[in-house]
Amino acid sequence: MLNITPSGIFSGYTAAKNINFKAKSTKPEQKTNSNKTQENPITRKGETMNLILATFVSGLALGARLLFELLDGDFLFETAEKQASKIVEKNKKEATAGMKNMYKFGASLALIAGGISGFALLVTALSAPKIVYKSKVNTYKKQKEVDVYIKANEAEKNIYSELNERAKSANSKERDELKAQYMQMQMAKNELPEFLKQNNKTGRQ
Q: Specify the pTM.
A: 0.56
pLDDT at residue 125, rounded to an integer: 93
Contacts of 159 (CB under 8 A, 6+ apart): 185
pLDDT at residue 37, rounded to an integer: 59
- Give the count of beta carbons closer than 10 Å to the beta carbon of residue 116: 19
> What does the pLDDT look like over 118-151, one tens digit per residue?
989 999 999 999 999 999 998 999 888 888 888 8
pLDDT at residue 28, rounded to an integer: 40
- Residue of 4, 15, 32 lying closest to 153 (CA atoms): 15
- For residues 29 and 52, is the Cβ–Cβ distance under 8 A? no
pLDDT at residue 10, rounded to an integer: 44
Measured in Å, how far apart are the chain's first and last C-alpha atoms?
A: 13
CA distance 104 to 109: 9
Q: Please determine, for residue 69, whether its predicted confidence score (pLDDT) is greater than 90.
A: no
- Single-letter residue type at 5: T
* Helix spans in the chain (H): 6-9, 13-17, 44-70, 73-91, 97-126, 128-168, 172-187, 194-204
pLDDT at residue 137, rounded to an integer: 92
Sign of the CA dihedral with 63 first, then 59, 195, and 137 last = negative
